[in-house]
């Protein structure tokens, strides 16, 4: 089956994404001039966004990655958040910018902030491509948000449904709504 037949609507096309990412990159550049920036991208979903974002930040910076998997999403069971890939660079005394594709419940981001804070960075801020305020369960201060979205299931530009659609250049919704896990 052609996977594109399941696309419903384009939420943010590639041009809108590119323009907004450049805009946010410029804000970050202005805020981080003279600082010791380390961009920490949360795998897997944020890798496409991060690739564009870091190239829009014209500053010296280090990059690294963390992978976090959560279990029990959408169920009554309390979520378990597990770090499956840790950051390798030393963040002590440095200015960490967490790069997320989507902040939904906030559990993943809150977990990573707590995890990195122990290593004594000078600052930790968060940059999210998408933010779903209606779904938030824990407070995470988002310094940069590209787009605030309602309760939609978005895929593309790194975001997946069942491991697919990450390679779509646009952010879209699907006709077939995924069942609750
Ligand atoms: C997504 C997304 C965030 C997290 C946000 O990751 O990339 O990391 O969920 O959700 P939360 O705010 O409710 O914690 P996902 O678990 O789908 O993994 P992936 O990035 O590998 O697709």
Residue 166 binned pLDDT confidence (cut-offs 50, 70, 90): very high
Better-predicted residue by pLDDT, 3 or 161? 161
Contact 133, 160 (CB under 8 A): no
Task: Look up 8 and say whether it is catalytic.
Answer: no
CATH number at residue 113: 3.40.50.2020
What is the pLDDT at residue 4? Answer: 87
Q: How many domains does the chain have?
A: 1
Is residue 160 a part of any domain in this protein? yes
- Residue 87: CA atoms inside 13 Å, Cβ hemisphere, count? 24
Q: Which two tokens stand for residue 31?
A: 């805020």
pLDDT at 77: 54
Cβ neighbours of residue 44 closer than 8 Å, sequence gap 6 or more: 67, 158, 160, 166
Give the H or E element holding residue 153.
none
Place of tokens 């491509």: 129
Assess if residue 85 is contained within a domain. yes
pLDDT value, residue 78: 56
Ligand 1: residues within 6 Å at CB? 42-46, 70, 100-109, 160
pTM attached to this predicted model: 0.94
Return the ligand 1 atom nearest residue 43 CA. 20
Residue 79 pLDDT level (bands cut at 50, 70, 90) = confident
Residue 72 has pLDDT above 70, yes or no: no
The pick from 104, 146, 163 for probing ligand 1's pocket by mutation, whose C-beta has the most ligand atoms within 8 angstroms, reads 104
Say what the pLDDT of residue 14 is: 98
Pairing of strands 95-103, 80-85: unpaired
- Angle, helices 14-32/47-55, rounded to nearest 10 degrees: 60
Residue at 108 is within a domain: yes
Distance 45 CA to ligand 1 centre (A): 7
User: Per the domain annotation, does 90 fall within a domain?
Assistant: yes
Task: Classify residue 179: in a domain, yes or no.
Answer: no
Kindly tell me the burial class for residue 161, based on how many C-beta atoms sit within 10 Å of its own C-beta (0-12, 13-18, 19 or more).
middle
Q: Which helix (H) or strand (E) holds 126?
A: strand 123-131
pLDDT of 75 higher than 60: no
- State the Cα–Cα distance between residues 58 and 97, nearest whole angstrom: 15
When pLDDT is averaged across residues 137-152 and rounded to a whole number, the result is 95
How many other C-beta atoms lie within 10 A of the C-beta of residue 134? 9
Does the residue 180 lie in any domain?
no
- Is residue 140 domain-resident? yes
Q: How far is the CA of 128 from the centre of ligand 1 (A)?
A: 11
Asked, for residue 71, whether it belongs to a domain, the answer is: yes
Mean per-residue pLDDT of the chain: 93
Say whether pLDDT at 180 is over 60: no
Taking only the tens place, the pLDDT of each residue in 1-25 is: 578 888 999 999 999 999 999 999 9
pLDDT at 74: 56
Domain span at 127: 3-174
């Amino acid at each position: 089956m052609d996977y594109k037949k399941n696309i419903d609507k384009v939420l943010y096309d590639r041009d809108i994404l590119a323009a907004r990412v450049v805009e946010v990159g410029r804000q970050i550049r202005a805020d981080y001039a003279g600082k010791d920036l380390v961009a920490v991208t949360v795998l897997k979903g944020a890798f496409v966004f991060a690739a564009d974002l870091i190239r829009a930040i014209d500053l010296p910076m280090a990059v690294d990655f963390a992978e976090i998997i959560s279990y029990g999403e959408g169920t009554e069971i309390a979520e378990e958040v597990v770090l499956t890939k840790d950051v390798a660079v030393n963040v002590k005394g440095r200015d960490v910018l967490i790069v997320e594709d989507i902040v939904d419940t906030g559990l993943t981001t809150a977990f990573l902030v707590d995890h990195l804070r122990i290593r004594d960075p000078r600052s930790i801020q968060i940059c999210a491509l998408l933010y779903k305020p209606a779904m938030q369960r824990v407070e995470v201060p988002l310094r940069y948000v590209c787009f605030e979205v309602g309760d939609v299931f978005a895929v593309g530009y790194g975001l997946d449904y069942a491991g697919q659609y990450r390679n779509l250049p646009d952010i879209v919704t699907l006709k077939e709504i995924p069942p609750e896990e």
